[in-house]
Structure 1
Amino acid sequence: MTTGSDVVLDRLMSLHPKVIDLVLDRVHRLLATLDHPETRLPPVIHIAGTNGKGSTLAMIRAGLEGAGETCHAYTSPHLARFHERIRVAGSLIGEADLTRLLEECETANGADPITYFEITTCAAILAFARAPADWTLLEVGLGGRLDATNVVNPRLTVIAPVSMDHEAFLGDTLPRIAAEKAGILKPGVPCIVGPQDEAALEVIEYRAARLNAPLLIHGQHWHVAEEDGRLVFQDETGLMDLPLPRLIGAHQVANAGMAVAALRALGRARGAEAAMTRAEWPARLQRLRTGPLVRAAPADIWLDGGHNPAAGAALAEALARLPARPLHLVCGMLNTKDATGYMRPLAPLVEQLHAVSIPGEANTLSAAQTVAAARAAGMRAAEASSVDVAVERIAVTAPEARILICGSLYLAGHVLRSNG
């Protein structure tokens, strides 16, 4: 069913010929027209990085809410509905409020060019400025320095692990990408730094030194590890023994460490256990337990939206820890991603990849192109006309298989919508 917000969002897509155009001028102009709502936000925690920033935000939010405080949260992209991007004081934004805010921003912007992400970010900021909460959590959309969210004066910043992704927009080397991520650093504002390649860390440290921004760096100022089925976090104030994060995968231990370090820095360590046990973040190695896909196949079915080589490596490590079963992938990816690089760490675990195109996505790889990328990564691969067809095929030919639907958040969103 088409809603009022859907109609407005469709109109906003036409305001700029480019989907991605990284400058801040248009955002500053619209926010000024809206009387600078970015200056009236509850204290901001601003999170950048290539992998893990969304999971880290989810854990920080769970921790703050577990400590009895309320949070606005802005994330992207959405999976099933746009409303997922904007959480106002703990609740997803309502349809009427979203439509009204989008129309207000559309009217204020007029016919001036602005990208879809920029104007919807302004709508989120406007929503947050008008509703009371204790904290505002902002996830960077792309990069950091010129991202539409980088218009705030935060209380704390977080830089999750930086790796190669979006090279066409952020640069073709790790130091260049790290420089873009480090663009969220602000003078005197502390930053939690997750595990980093040395080349990325050097850039972050250089930028922080110029801004006199204190860094709390993984492996230097704080440490985190899984020990005997528990999460152990330690910094200069002491050791914390916590449950393992609810989010599945060894990579979530590092994300949990960033969340706990952030809570410590904010004086909210009492929320650390809730950060582990209450966080929810769909399509991150999520097991599907209901819906038509599950009814069609006796195998266990999982969903993951990771899409770059680092995500592929983290996913492979997490899958290797699950009880052994033959693994079949149903994979669709965008043509802006390093598909073979994503698949290569998964190849030793996979019986066969079933390639699909992503419905409704202009930039999808064709199934044939995904097959070629999989074969280059060392996998057996075949085309399928849809996710449903692929799952049904696996259910017949490999009924004891584990099925992982993967390769893109856009594919994950399609699955969540169609699977109910």
Structure 2
Amino acid sequence: MKDFASSDSPGVQRQLDRLAALSLPQGRFGLDTIVAILARLGDPQNSIPPAFHVAGTNGKGSTCAYLRAMLEAEGLTVHTATKPHLVRYNERIRIGGQLISDALLAELLAEVLDRSEDLGPSFFEVTTAAMFLAFARHPADACVIETGLGGRFDATNVIPHPAAVGIATLGIDHEAFLLRPEEGTPDDPLARIAFEKAGIIRPGSPVCTMSYPEGATLEIERAAMAAGAPLHMRGRDWDATSVDVIEYSDHHGYLTLPLPTLAGSHQAQNAALAVAMLRHQDRVSVSATAMADGIANAEWPARLQRLNAGPLTALAGARAVWLDGGHNPDAGIAIAKHFVGQDLHLIIGMLANKDADAIVRPLRSSLSSVSVVDVPGHESHPRCAFGERTQGFPTVGDALSALPQDGVPVLIAGSLYLAGEVLKANHEVPD
């Protein structure tokens, strides 16, 4: 299914309509098209501020949020590119910390499409080219860029000399794209995922990673060695533990940092990866104080986010309402760790191409009820995919209204697309 987003701005919507009219390049892999587009635009990717480039299955968005918050706490001007957007397409590009304006977004999309429409670009290639134009034309001290799918063939993978590369937690997701048969690639699924993510490693740019099983570790080591890139792996070159605080260590010394305010025990490890990236590069200086402030102040919506009072949560009565866009087994495990020992009502909507049991399985012993909803505008798993003891509802609002008055918290999960609809309905649009 095509998902080209929509906008309340007529100027932006005109360009999104042009995107939607393009044929989707099924089965096309490689960077040739994005390289050609950028060449026609004067190769803006070569003129952006020092870039922190992050890949991974889970945690890469949170790692980017910590990087941005730490850099801004140092008083630096930071551009960011993250994906997907939750409510507004503009969320994908921030200029100096602010969502790109409708006027500038429409202008850049038009410029990219005018110069590249004959190349048959994808949604992501056009968006990425517009992002590079914005970052090159607006001065800043640094930029933080999140990959989309994989890394090797991701449209962002054209940055010649990142200040640092980060690879977050690895897991199995997007199998049709990342595990497609290809000669010369690893047979082991997680090693293949590592092979794809390690494609963003660049000559001379430091690489910071989490720790992984042996096969995945070997693929990242091979990629770093082939590129001549300094490799810094957790548990070997840096480490972090977190109980009441984060105790971080590397060859530079030790840091004691606060725990994140973002919910979930895994967030301390994402924050530590961001710290490692900053401490193993020399293009942007960030103090330990700014790192601590950034960890405490980072925000990342729809990742174990407790929703505020609003039109949607009012339907739930006097109970906590949590939102998470996680949709793969590793995300399910992280969510389960946060709610361990608690009873929970689950409202779930998942795309049909995802593992229907990924979120339910690790939470099963805690679930008081499971309510299934469709993800608006997308092919979703039906109620029967989640087991017999479930109920189906047309909308999240209907599911919330039907919950018993027992005060048990509720989690809405299964899809970032669904999360965006929830945030919009509760008047918590990211800004």
Bin for the TM-score computed over the shorter chain: over 0.9
Q: Residue 388 of structure 1 corresponds to which residue in structure 2? A: 397
Matched, 1:240 2:258: no
The alignment partner of 1:291 has SS state of coil
Residue pairs, 1:189-338, within 5 angstroms: 189-227=205-243, 229-266=244-281, 267-270=285-288, 271-298=290-317, 299-320=319-340, 324=342, 326-338=343-355
Could you tell me whether the CA contact under 8 Å between 2:327 and 2:358 is conserved in 1? no
Residue pairs, 1:109-120, within 5 angstroms: 109-120=116-127
The alignment partner of 2:358 has SS state of helix
Residue pairs, 1:42-81, within 5 angstroms: 42-81=49-88
| Cα distance between partner residues in 1 of 2:309 and 2:15 | 32
Relative to structure 1, the CA distance from residue 348 to residue 195 in structure 2 (aligned partners, 3 Å threshold; closer, same or farther) is farther
Relative to structure 1, the CA distance from residue 412 to residue 141 in structure 2 (aligned partners, 3 Å threshold; closer, same or farther) is same
CA-to-partner distance for each residue in 1:211-231, whole Å, 9 max, x for gaps?
Answer: 22111111111111113x211
Aligned-pair identity (%): 44
CA-to-partner distance for each residue in 1:295-347, whole Å, 9 max, x for gaps?
Answer: 122221010001100000011001227xx4x3111100112211213321121
CA-to-partner distance for each residue in 1:227-286, whole Å, 9 max, x for gaps?
Answer: 3x2111111221111110121101111101101111212342432112211111000000
| Cα distance between partner residues in 2 of 1:20 and 1:273 | 44
Relative to structure 1, the CA distance from residue 257 to residue 19 in structure 2 (aligned partners, 3 Å threshold; closer, same or farther) is farther
Q: Residue 186 of structure 2 corresponds to which residue in structure 1? A: none
Could you tell me whether the CA contact under 8 Å between 2:54 and 2:166 is conserved in 1? yes
Please tell me the residue identity of whatever aligns with 2:155: A
CA-to-partner distance for each residue in 1:21-69, whole Å, 9 max, x for gaps?
Answer: 4321111111011111011111111100000000000001100111111
Relative to structure 1, the CA distance from residue 342 to residue 416 in structure 2 (aligned partners, 3 Å threshold; closer, same or farther) is same
Gaps of 5+ in 1: none
| Cα distance between partner residues in 2 of 1:156 and 1:336 | 33
Question: Per-residue deviation at 1:104?
Answer: 0.8
Q: Residue 22 of structure 1 corresponds to which residue in structure 2? A: 29
Could you tell me whether the CA contact under 8 Å between 1:13 and 1:115 is conserved in 2? no
The alignment partner of 1:273 has SS state of helix
| Residues 202-211 or 42-51, more deviating | 202-211
The alignment partner of 1:341 has SS state of coil
| Cα distance between partner residues in 1 of 2:17 and 2:359 | 31
Please tell me the residue identity of whatever aligns with 1:380: R
Q: CA RMSD for the aligned pairs?
A: 1.6
| Aligned pair partner of 1:142 in 149, 159, 165 | 149
| Cα distance between partner residues in 1 of 2:213 and 2:70 | 27
| Cα distance between partner residues in 2 of 1:24 and 1:244 | 39
The alignment partner of 2:166 has SS state of strand
Matched, 1:346 2:363: yes
Q: Residue 166 of structure 2 corresponds to which residue in structure 1? A: 158
The alignment partner of 2:314 has SS state of helix
Could you tell me whether the CA contact under 8 Å between 1:357 and 1:386 is conserved in 2? yes
- Relative to the length of structure 2, the TM-score reads 0.91
| Cα distance between partner residues in 2 of 1:2 and 1:20 | 32
Could you tell me whether the CA contact under 8 Å between 1:406 and 1:412 is conserved in 2? yes
| Aligned pair partner of 2:110 in 83, 86, 103 | 103
Could you tell me whether the CA contact under 8 Å between 2:304 and 2:323 is conserved in 1? yes
Gaps of 5+ in 2: 1-6, 181-188
